[in-house]
Amino acid sequence: MPLDIYPFSPWYVWFEDRYGLSWQLILDEDPLNTRRIRPCLLFGDGVLGKAEEFMCTCLEIFPSAKNGLVSYYGPGEAQAENSKIKFAELNLEGFPLVVMDHGYMDDFTFNEAFSLIVVCKNQEEIDYYWDKLSYVPEAENC
């Protein structure tokens, strides 16, 4: 997205660096009210439209998880019909995330190049998160 004025920010740009990493710069008139760098999870391709489900799952799994601002796509705003979340804030154990459904029909998806690490205090806690987060726990080794 080119540097411009958008409905959610008076000055915003989304670009890629020389390593292929995606960056978003957004003007926030109260920058001390939030973390300056926050990872953004962009739900696209086969998981497009599942950002809200992901957020609800995290709120169930992580005891101190909290939602922040949640903004939904309005009628006609997204090219992809199943896009729901335009922008949302999620805090997992003090770790801020931005969660979004891709508004276009691109094939972006998650892979092993990016992961979240949960530091656990014992095997019981590992088992808890393993059971809750793993898509097919019986097919994976722990």
Contacts of 137 (CB under 8 A, 6+ apart): 130, 131
The most confident of 3-7, 12-16, 36-40, 68-72, by mean pLDDT: 68-72
For residue 134, pLDDT over 70 is answered with yes
Query: Would you state the structure tokens that stand for residue 46, as one six-digit string?
Result: 């086969």
Which range (27-31, 57-61, 118-122) has the least confidence? Answer: 27-31
Q: Please state, rounded to an integer, the average pLDDT across all residues of the chain.
A: 87
The reported pTM is: 0.82
Tell me: pLDDT of 85 over 90: yes
Is 42 in contact with 108 (CB distance < 8 Å)? yes
All structural domains of the chain, each given as residue ranges with its CATH number in brackets, are: 34-110 (3.30.720.100)
Give the C-alpha distances (Å, rounded to integers) separating 72 from 21, 75, 85, 89. Answer: 25, 10, 5, 12
Q: What is the pLDDT of residues 32-82, one digit of tens each?
A: 666 778 899 999 999 999 999 999 999 999 999 999 989 999 999 888 889
Rounded Cα distance between 38 and 47, Å, is 21
